[in-house]
Structure 1
């Protein structure tokens, strides 16, 4: 794991100046690569690299790396897990150079020289972001892995194209503009993250997963009016896909598996292979273990393939309702791992909050970013690489919205829209407190457990009744926290992102599978993988995600929906495989997630911090936010009339980021 950066200038600049600027940009990424530093410049191009040594710890793995033929220069962040296989293929074709070392960076360069960039990346299984300069054609290529495990930003700073693993590297360029992208701000308040291809800054973008950006010669003389998408060009700049989620889903549909026994055996072999490939390392390695299905499965297969106890890590909390550590400890004991658990006090967890604007570079409001950072910091104390179980929910149907989203739509879609609006208004007319009282009374008369916050849920349902016209509308409402962004410009209701891209037509009849695909192309890369990458890299820890191995992603597309969601539970196939390694009673419990009591903190120890950021005076700065809806939500939360934890966290993370920017 490393950090890369650089720029392509419109005209040739003095080499000393180019190297000085690139050094400043790459120094901003020291946390991503504390082991070594390299910069290179020539004519109008400059490349910088920070190295976290994982494979080939010698100087033979140093970057920027030149191909043996002298044509290509590469900076690369990530790991190519099948690079030894690629080397053998090149050797059989007599296309291998005299290898200088055993790094995957050198393998990629040889592949680019022989196969070209598209075919090489299609052959490569791994996580990566890279910048490749072709000295012969004077062409810059930027590329990002299929699922978006590794980040890559690009955009304009003056007349130069700048790029890097994190926005802080781009900000270090002397001509970087800090102008906000108003579209990105509106979308952030919908989702709690800025969805690709936008970033929080105007004219700065995220390269979308599975894509290659190429610039032939000099950067375009003008900037595009809107975010450039795959398949589009602007002057000398164009973006294309080397891998397509839609194509993978279509192929899986044509090759669907029907025999459950054979499907489970094939899936277990694929899982074991993915885990085995991702344990390749020249440095100490371990795994995150929450005690849930995905992380337990990864740890199980990892331990099975190891001749010694693997290292596993979990964080516990001193609040029982949020403490998953005992479940992880039970799984670790059964597997026989070398398990490390650290109980974190509420004060220690809250101490992470001031670090978040710097860690994430742009507003980011998934509060599990706090425990993710803490478990990464714990793991880094003993290992340099940690495997995680991310991706299982999106690939195999684990989120609750996949179950009750379609149920809601089935129950309301028959109603004419005016009738749904009337019903929604009727539900909204009953105060939240009254719904809570009715919910408590119903629970006393029933053997079922009481529904948490029934008033909040009733009013959210009322909003959906009045505003959704299709299953896609319902999905968007389920992943949207602020239906109307609290900003002072025109409504962003018509703004689109990668979430809105067309999906294969066969998914029109499979709402659960359609929601999973929508999550795979936005929520997974822009929230989940971003959260893990930034939290881990802040501690100089490399994370790997075996469930996102390309073969495994393709295999998941071949599993019919009933092998993923069955009897009201998700991840059926993963569960069946896990039960071969871990007793069922250690795993089966309600899905809890990696939660923390943020809502109560805001009413208690975090209240002074929140009051400062949510004051009318601070909210009104820069004429961006509308204080009225925000203050209303804050007052309702403090009075306990509503639980607005998530909405408030969106605002607070935006405000904290703005304050951090103004201090720079």
Structure 2
């Protein structure tokens, strides 16, 4: 894992072209301009130092500059440092992330005709070798892992940027003064390179920062997951295309595999995905919660290490498999540390706990926002930020995590509503396939109960009526469920409310799907799979893998590896029928643990086993308690006392002067939120409002964001 900062000069038509023969070599700085640029790049890397504290490198030419800060995981020697250069010194690259199965790929590339002369054992060196052999974008097909990369080919003038298939690793870009292309792992790295921060109010108001290519900052764009971008330095043309996407079975296709075959298929591919992620030249740990996903990862790791003798990172870990978990106050109803302890005891592994009480939440809040660079929709990310301090303190650089399982195996209740929308014709003999009346009745009941449940979570009550957004995605309700996590228009200043009156975040979500994909949603995919796809492209990519993933982990120089997001596993799971993911098992009453809004199962939900096939595949590796237990998402507490540490912290952040400095909020909404957001009868939506506002204030101050005004309206993005 690493940090990337790039500055490339774009030469528009008619502008003078530089003399490539006079380019500055990586190790040579020859003039004041180069010295100034090196100084700026070092400042940019200073802002990314948490992503790579072990080494840094800068390559400078008259055409482009590439900088990299390294967290050494594979090949700890200086030979693994970046930027990387081709043997001809005409192709230059920086890579953030991990490429798995790299030993096999290196062997194949070294032994092929015109074999590549590798000079390290780093997985990152494969990028240039594969690019030379296959070209772009074909070389990306051979990369299995989590990565963001930038490659500069001087022979063509092309800058190639790409992200992994699910967006585990971040990559942003912008253009300054219409002539300088900037790319970086985090937006803050742009600040020393001539970029000045301004709000993208369109993305802030309509939720585009979380649901499409935009960010909270004007002109700053994400390279989307599974996509690659080509920028030609000579004419400035930008092409952004997809090299991989999720695909699902045709809902009219009959399933021919037996249940046993499908269960074994999941088990084999998940085990292989985990095995590949154990390879490292540093210690590897595990994030363990009280749910089946991380527990199954821990169980399979234990099996591989103790039964098959596979090394856990650079250690023979048979005596020390180490897990890490968050410990919330037991009285909150959100603490899962005890069940995590029972899982660790069952596996015979060590577990270390991070106590995250209200004081810790208050202490970490602002720093978590700064590293995430986007609003906090809850305090889950703050808890994860605190947790990530522990493995680093214990000498671990790598952890395995459970992200991505819910998106593949239907872990969230919202998926159940869309599952029940239509019949699963691939399994005509299954109970719900044969009883249309029962399915319709369950769908009606679950729809009503889900509306009540998400209101208890502090989400907006808007979005229940029909709209064009549903037509685009074949009627599934997941856009409304996602949109309810966005802040209400009522908190904004009058001129903002007037400009964006009638904006519909649900439509933003649906419009973020390509026409090719929406055609599949309407004609080919089952409603459940449409729901999976939308959630994966929005909430997973832009929130969970960011605030609950890379950004809070890398803030403490921790590389996380999510085996459930292995694309080989994903392709297989996406080929499975909907009914094996949400199993209809009415005689099996799942247990309820705790008293949070999520943990009391709905009437209709009691008849289903979420992630049914994953439970069956993972049964040999987990406790019976976890096998029987209902889905329990990782959640931080949502109610706090008046005048407590968190209340005081948000009061300290959200002053009138600070809120007015933003320029786009109505301070009366802040006062109302403080009145209702804390205390015995705390209103959860009000706390959520304060978390949003506290996030914007923090980002505005730390990034020096220009105050927004009505004069900016002509520049703002708006989704129609």
Normalised TM-score (structure 1) = 0.84
Q: CA deviation at 1:355?
A: 1.1
Distance 1:124 1:242 in 2: 11
Where do 1:180-579 residues align within 5 Å? 180-188=199-207, 194-218=210-234, 220=236, 236-245=237-246, 248-249=247-248, 258-307=257-306, 308=318, 309-320=320-331, 321-382=333-394, 383-404=396-417, 456=455, 463-466=462-465, 470=470, 472=475, 474-480=477-483, 481=485, 482-484=487-489, 486-488=491-493, 489=496, 490-491=499-500, 492-493=503-504, 496=508, 499-502=512-515, 503=517, 505=519, 507-508=521-522, 510-531=526-547, 532-567=549-584, 568-579=608-619
Q: CA deviation at 1:39?
A: 0.1
Q: 1:600 aligns to what?
A: 640
Q: CA deviation at 1:328?
A: 0.7
Q: CA deviation at 1:93?
A: 2.4
Contact 2:322/2:352 (8 A) holds in 1: yes
Q: CA deviation at 1:658?
A: 2.4
Q: 2:108 aligns to what?
A: 89
Cα distance change, pair 336–641 in 1 and its aligned pair in 2 (3 A): closer
Contact 1:564/1:570 (8 A) holds in 2: yes
Q: CA deviation at 1:105?
A: 1.8
Distance 2:564 2:235 in 1: 37
Alignment equivalent of 2:36, drawn from 2, 5, 17: 17
Cα distance change, pair 659–599 in 1 and its aligned pair in 2 (3 A): farther
Contact 1:35/1:50 (8 A) holds in 2: yes
Cα distance change, pair 405–473 in 1 and its aligned pair in 2 (3 A): closer
Distance 1:487 1:332 in 2: 47
Q: Secondary structure of 1:552's partner? A: helix
Cα distance change, pair 556–37 in 1 and its aligned pair in 2 (3 A): same
Out of 496-505 and 272-281, give the one that drifted further.
496-505
Normalised TM-score (structure 2) = 0.78
Distance 1:465 1:584 in 2: 38
Q: Secondary structure of 1:327's partner? A: helix
Cα distance change, pair 253–162 in 1 and its aligned pair in 2 (3 A): farther
**Which structure 2 segments of 5+ residues have no match?**
12-17, 19-30, 307-317, 423-435, 585-607, 707-720
Cα distance change, pair 33–399 in 1 and its aligned pair in 2 (3 A): same
Q: 2:6 aligns to what?
A: 6
1:206-259 CA-partner distances (Å, limit 9, x unpaired): 100111111112363xxxxxxxxxxxxxxx2111111122xx335899796631
Distance 1:662 1:496 in 2: 28
1:545-591 CA-partner distances (Å, limit 9, x unpaired): 11111101101111110111113232111111222222322443343
Alignment equivalent of 2:183, drawn from 163, 173, 193: 163
Distance 2:640 2:418 in 1: 28
**Which structure 1 segments of 5+ residues have no match?**
221-235, 415-419, 421-426, 428-449
Contact 1:376/1:539 (8 A) holds in 2: yes
Out of 564-573 and 44-53, give the one that drifted further.
564-573
Distance 1:254 1:451 in 2: 30
Where do 1:66-77 residues align within 5 Å? 66-77=85-96
Contact 1:249/1:504 (8 A) holds in 2: no
Q: 2:699 aligns to what?
A: 657
Contact 2:76/2:281 (8 A) holds in 1: yes
Where do 1:583-594 residues align within 5 Å? 583-594=623-634
Q: CA deviation at 1:453?
A: 7.9
Distance 1:255 1:404 in 2: 23
Q: Secondary structure of 2:239's partner? A: strand
Q: 2:311 aligns to what?
A: none
Cα distance change, pair 611–340 in 1 and its aligned pair in 2 (3 A): closer
Check if 1:121 corresponds to 2:126. Answer: no
Distance 1:300 1:622 in 2: 48
Q: CA deviation at 1:125?
A: 0.3
Distance 1:400 1:35 in 2: 42
Q: CA deviation at 1:337?
A: 1.6
Q: CA deviation at 1:303?
A: 1.0
Q: Secondary structure of 1:136's partner? A: coil
Contact 2:210/2:538 (8 A) holds in 1: no
Q: CA deviation at 1:285?
A: 0.6
Contact 2:328/2:335 (8 A) holds in 1: yes
Q: CA deviation at 1:86?
A: 1.7
Contact 1:2/1:33 (8 A) holds in 2: yes
Check if 1:609 corresponds to 2:649. Answer: yes
1:69-123 CA-partner distances (Å, limit 9, x unpaired): 3231111101100222222332342242232111112222111111113222101
Q: Secondary structure of 2:305's partner? A: coil
Root-mean-square deviation over aligned CA pairs = 3.3
Distance 1:196 1:656 in 2: 23
Q: 2:26 aligns to what?
A: none
